[in-house]
Amino acid sequence: MAMRREQSDRLFAEALRHIPGGVNSPVRAFRGVGGTPFFARRAHGCRVEDADGNEYIDYVCSWGPNILGHGAKPVVDAVIRAAAHGLSFGIPNPAEVDLAARIRRWVPSVEKVRACNSGTEATMSCVRLARGFTGRDLIVKFEGCYHGHVDSLLVAAGSGALTLGRPDSAGVPARLAELTVVLPFNDIGALRATFGERGREIAAVIIEPVPANAGLYLPEPGYLECLRELCTAHGAVLIFDEVMTGFRLARGGAQEIYGITPDLTAFGKVIGGGLPVGAFGGRADIMDHLAPLGPVYQAGTLSGNPLAMAAGLAQLDELEARDGFRALEATGAALEGALREAARGHEDRLCLKRIGSMFCMYFTPGPVRNLAEAKRSDTKAFAKFFHAMLDRGIYLAPSQFEAGFLSLAHGPPDVEATARAAAASLREAL
């Protein structure tokens, strides 16, 4: 039974008058699943309420930041306390020192770190820094990986670019795009060939160690190790984009899980507690090339602002106090088991991937180890499944090529309700 949508429809019609596509970020427009988006009026815990009063169990969590759940009291209280003393100073403040120290304590590869205001700024700064540090121009990235809307990285990109079928954005000069080499993920031969031919030109390789912008797939054993060796041998900077995986998959992110030490890491999402934030850090000999110490310029009016710092610190404190990563793994395993049970009889049509609190149900038998295999998914069947779940009060990411996220607010009743809805929705979709 479809949900009432009068208010959301009215708001979307109004939004279309003022905002391109009616959204401030393309992936929210439901282009990957059809229909039009609902408008969120409030959210608490793992549930979002829309403008018509419908409630959904939320598996998007604002695309990752809300790892405690929406409106977590420790985070909201920290923001209120900070706001009482002023919203932004543009002057160094104690909270930004505390968050920098905390990032360094949780991620040993980070010797120096700088805060900014989005994941895009973090990856963009890593690329400029790597080019300035090496004096080289070439960047290597991977098909389907999305690193924000950075000109040099909007080449064969994932997430909304992939969903909209335009992995190469208009407006990026061909001459700039030529400085970005795109390789298939999990292909060691392609890595070795590219480094063999152009190793000395490569300023940096940027990778999502766990690609989660074409759904979710994992590095094959030995792949990241090989990448690390090749970067070291050729003097290329290895950049891990952990904007999504950082502080979510483990205290030390994917680099802790896979035991790889990148030269630079980009962060975002979780470290802002839901407020605009990004950060990037790594080897001090590279980071110290940044202005005002070095020749690579990078800046931001609101970088390190006290509210985002307070929210991020409160969120990380709470994650640690509640042994959050263990709890997220337990809920993730429970959800995986429940969804596999719900999918019984459809195993030949589905491929469920999960790592920790991130997951994706591909509508293809699999295996899914790279973008080409992810794109075999039946996106029409996924769209039917998405809407059938939405009508049952379950909000999944509105694209086959996105990952789902769990929070500490998701519990057994939510998992059970989700599995029941999935069993019914799969019968409709397949």
Angular region, 215: left φ>0, alpha ψ -120 to 50, beta rest: left
Q: Is the dihedral of CA 71, 77, 79, 84 positive or negative?
A: positive
**146 catalytic residue (yes or no):** yes
**380 catalytic residue (yes or no):** no
Q: For residues 342 and 419, give the distance between their C-alpha atoms in angstroms, rounded to a whole number.
A: 6
Q: For residues 388 and 404, give the distance between their C-alpha atoms in angstroms, rounded to a whole number.
A: 16
Q: Does 27 bind ligand KE4 (CB under 6 A)?
A: yes
Give me the least distance between CB of 135 and ligand KE4, in Å please.
Answer: 26
Q: Cβ contacts of residue 164 below 8 Å, gap of 6+?
A: 26, 31, 32
Give me the least distance between CB of 221 and ligand KE4, in Å please.
Answer: 22
Buried-exposed string 55-76: b where 16+ CB fall within 10 A, e elsewhere: ebbbbbbbbbbbbbbbebebbe
DSSP state of 296: B
| Residue 238 bridge partners (DSSP) | 205
Question: Which of 59, 146, 217, 395 does the annotation list as catalytic?
Answer: 146
Q: Does 384 bind ligand KE4 (CB under 6 A)?
A: no
Give me the least distance between CB of 67 and ligand KE4, in Å please.
Answer: 14
Where does this chain touch ligand KE4 (CB under 6 A) — which range of 106-114, 117-125, 372-380, 383-391?
A: 117-125
Which residue lies nearer to ligand KE4 by CB, 118 or 180? 118
Q: Does 256 bind ligand KE4 (CB under 6 A)?
A: no
Q: Which two tokens stand for residue 241?
A: 């984009």
Give me the least distance between CB of 148 and ligand KE4, in Å please.
Answer: 3
Could you tell me the end-to-end alpha-carbon distance of the chain, in angstroms, rounded to an integer? 18
Q: Does 160 bind ligand KE4 (CB under 6 A)?
A: yes
Q: For residues 206 and 203, give the distance between their C-alpha atoms in angstroms, rounded to a whole number.
A: 10
Q: For residues 295 and 300, give the distance between their C-alpha atoms in angstroms, rounded to a whole number.
A: 16
Which residue lies nearer to ligand KE4 by CB, 158 or 334? 158
Which residue lies nearer to ligand KE4 by CB, 132 or 160? 160
Give me the least distance between CB of 398 and ligand KE4, in Å please.
Answer: 10
Question: Which of 141, 269, 353, 375 does the annotation list as catalytic?
Answer: 269
**353 catalytic residue (yes or no):** no
Q: Does 147 bind ligand KE4 (CB under 6 A)?
A: yes
Where does this chain touch ligand KE4 (CB under 6 A) — which range of 190-198, 239-247, 344-352, 408-416?
A: 239-247
Which residue lies nearer to ligand KE4 by CB, 342 or 358? 358
Instruction: Kindly write out the interface string for residues 299-328 of this chain, putting x where it contacts ligand KE4 by CB under 6 A and - elsewhere.
Output: ------------------------------
Q: Does 66 bind ligand KE4 (CB under 6 A)?
A: no
Query: Helix 306-321 to helix 73-83 angle, to the nearest 10 degrees?
Result: 150
Buried-exposed string 368-380: b where 16+ CB fall within 10 A, e elsewhere: bbbbebbbebbbe
Selected binder of ligand KE4 within 50, 256, 318, 402 (CB under 6 A): 402
Task: Residue count of the chain, please give it.
Answer: 430
Q: Which residues are designated catalytic?
A: 146, 241, 269
Binding site for ligand KE4 (CB under 6 A): 25, 27, 63, 118-120, 123, 146-148, 159-160, 208, 213, 241, 243-244, 268, 402
